[in-house]
Amino acid sequence: MSIKRLLFYLLLLTSPFLLMVVVNETTKPKYQVHDIFEKGDVEWARNPEYSLPDKCTWHCHTPGCSHHNNNVISRWPVDTLRRMIIDSLGVSNGDTYQTNNVLFLVILWPVLMFGLVVANVELFIRNRKKNA
Partner 1 sequence: MKELITPIYVYCTDFCITSANLMNITYEDFCALVFCVLWPLITLGLSLTLIIQLRQRFKNK
Interaction site with partner 1 (CB under 8 A): 20, 23-24, 26-27, 29, 33, 37, 41, 43-47, 55-58, 60-61, 65, 67-68, 70-74, 78-79, 81-82, 85, 95, 98-99, 101-102, 105-106, 109, 112-113, 116-117, 119-120, 123-124, 126-127, 130-131
In whole angstroms, the minimum distance from the beta carbon of 33 to partner 1 comes to 7
- How far apart CA 52 and CA 46 sit, in angstroms, is 14
Which one, 5 or 80, has the nearer CB to partner 1?
Answer: 80
In whole angstroms, the minimum distance from the beta carbon of 13 to partner 1 comes to 14
Pairing status of strand 43-45 against strand 31-33: antiparallel
For residue 63, is the peptide bond before it cis, meaning its omega torsion is within 30 degrees of 0?
Answer: no
Torsion sign over Cα 22, 74, 66, 103: negative
- How far apart CA 35 and CA 90 sit, in angstroms, is 17
78: phi then psi, degrees, rounded to nearest 5: -65, -40
Which one, 13 or 60, has the nearer CB to partner 1?
Answer: 60
Which one, 8 or 67, has the nearer CB to partner 1?
Answer: 67
Which one, 1 or 42, has the nearer CB to partner 1?
Answer: 42
In eight-state DSSP terms, residue 32 is E
- How far apart CA 42 and CA 56 sit, in angstroms, is 20
In whole angstroms, the minimum distance from the beta carbon of 127 to partner 1 comes to 6
In whole angstroms, the minimum distance from the beta carbon of 108 to partner 1 comes to 11
